[in-house]
Amino acid sequence: MHEAMLYERREDGSVTCHLCAHRCNIRTGHKGICAVRENHDGTLYSLVYGKVISQAVDPIEKKPLFHFLPGSTSYSFACPGCNFRCQWCQNWQISQLPRLGGELDLPDVNPEAIVAGASRYGCASISYTYTEPTVYFEYAYDVMRLAHRQGLANVFVSNGYMTPECLDMLAPREGSPLLLDAANIDLKGWDDAFYRRFTGAHVEPVLESLRLLKHMGVWVEVTTLIIPTLNDDDAQLRSIASFIATDLGVDTPWHVTRFHPDFQMDNIGPTPVASLRRAHQIGLDAGLHYVYMGNIAGDGETTVCPGCGRELVSRSGFRVLQNSISATGTCPACSSPIAGVWTNPAAKS
């Protein structure tokens, strides 16, 4: 076990965890909502530090990140656990493992091994993904610092339920840069009742995290899984698109992705393509420059110049087929700036 970060001891022996927005008050001998942080006699411990349950080399487009080092690969890994309980989770075997009583007796992987793996396979970044990186933050934090020293960028794929205190740990400090370079955040819906019922959380902390990440200078892209009858009504989608445009900026990419039944939600069929097209158009009508459709191969994946309409990056699935954005991040036809990160911010000069 590894002592946790960001918690407060109470006089009665309980602790309050300040890592995620649940802010669990945990009595001794008990765990938080994530089931991977446990109070032992007034000291909070992470039960999953170094307990890597999945590792792979992925295209960065799989995160999905379309405006961050396109065509590069990212060394992706996860530790077990999540602070949400999404009923449709496609990685539930590892994200919900601790909550379902699964065994956490995994071999320890030190942070140096993750960074070495990323370097060995020629990756441009490390992605903290598949489960929720917030719940293994102590381990992620140690990996992130090593990654930057080796010229590797850091990417979170997250539900966005971290606290401001957690995000502050990633902020630039005197003599050290911003630790987190990019994030794809799930904004699962707009209605708080939907969040409470299907994830066990609230929507406002996610919105606040998105605002803070943007303010910090992290490159942010947003994903919304479109679930038929639950979050696919025009009012919710317009509210999400309007929030992105107003609070994050019209250059923030929005990925509207297709739902497939999984885990505890096998009673709803896949998202109709027409629903994705409608969400895509709602995003464009809100003024967003970059709206993409996901989990549907060969459609809605092209980056188009907002200035002249030229197709700049064409994709098929997770493959970049063609990229004509200039090295300075502009359209070669009209010189309009194309929002994104086109050179590795952590690369050593």
- What pLDDT is attached to residue 348? 66
How far is CA 233 from each of CA 189, 228, 278, 279, rounded to the nearest angstrom? 10, 9, 10, 9
Looking at the predicted structure, is the pLDDT value of residue 241 above 90?
Answer: yes
Which pLDDT belongs to residue 210?
98
CATH of the domain at 141: 3.20.20.70
Domain end: 280, 297, 314, which one?
Answer: 297
CA–CA dist 148, 178 (Å, integer) = 10
pTM of the model: 0.97
Give the per-residue pLDDT at 55: 97
Both 100 and 129 in one domain: the answer is: yes
pLDDT band at residue 286 using 50, 70 and 90 as cut-offs: very high
**Residues 29 and 60 placed together within one structural domain of the fold:** no
Comparing CA positions, the residue from 289, 280, 276, 346 lying closest to residue 67 is 289
Q: Which domain holds residue 133?
A: 54-297
Rounded to an integer, what distance in angstroms lies between the CA atom of residue 270 and that of residue 261? 6
For 183-234, what is each residue's pLDDT tens digit?
A: 999 999 999 999 999 999 999 999 999 999 999 999 999 999 999 999 999 9
Q: In what order do the strands lie in the sheet with 7-9?
A: 7-9, 15-17, 25-26
Q: What's the mean pLDDT in 316-332?
A: 93
- pLDDT (average), residues 103-118: 95
Both 138 and 17 in one domain: the answer is no
* 195 shares its domain with 289: yes
Q: Which of 275, 297, 319 marks a domain boundary?
A: 297
Query: How confident is the model over 249-264, as pLDDT tens digits?
Result: 999 999 999 999 999 9
Strand ranges, E, within the chain:
2-3, 7-9, 15-17, 25-26, 37-40, 43-46, 54-59, 73-78, 125-128, 153-158, 182-186, 219-226, 254-258, 291-294, 303-304, 311-316, 319-323
pLDDT over 90 percentage in the chain:
93
pLDDT > 70: percent of the chain? 99
Number of domains the chain is built from: 2
Q: Output the CA–CA distances (angstroms, integers) from residue 339 to 98, 329, 342, in the order listed.
A: 39, 7, 9
Predicted confidence at residue 295, as pLDDT, reads: 92
Confidence of residue 173 (pLDDT cuts 50, 70, 90): confident
Are the C-beta atoms of residues 141 and 154 closer than 8 Å to each other? no
Q: Could you read off the pLDDT of 137-168 as tens digits, one per residue?
A: 999 999 999 999 999 999 999 999 999 999 99
Is the residue at 289 inside a domain?
Answer: yes
Provide the 3-class DSSP secondary structure of residue 145: helix
Q: Which of 97-106, 206-215, 232-241, 263-272 has the lowest mean pLDDT?
A: 97-106
Check residue 327 and give its pLDDT: 84
User: What confidence score (pLDDT) does residue 126 get?
Assistant: 98
Within a domain: 213: yes
Burial of 222 (0-12, 13-18, 19+ CB in 10 A): buried
- Confidence band of 349 (pLDDT split at 50, 70, 90): very low
pLDDT at position 97 over 80: yes
CB atoms within 10 A of CB 100: 10
Is 318:61 a contact under the CB 8 Å cutoff? yes
Q: What is the DSSP letter of 270?
A: P
Mean pLDDT of 232-241: 97
d(CA 307, CA 289): 9
- Rounded CA-CA distance 284/280 in Å is 6
pLDDT of residue 103: 83
What is the rounded CA–CA span in Å between residue 232 and residue 228?
Answer: 6
Same domain, 17 and 129: no
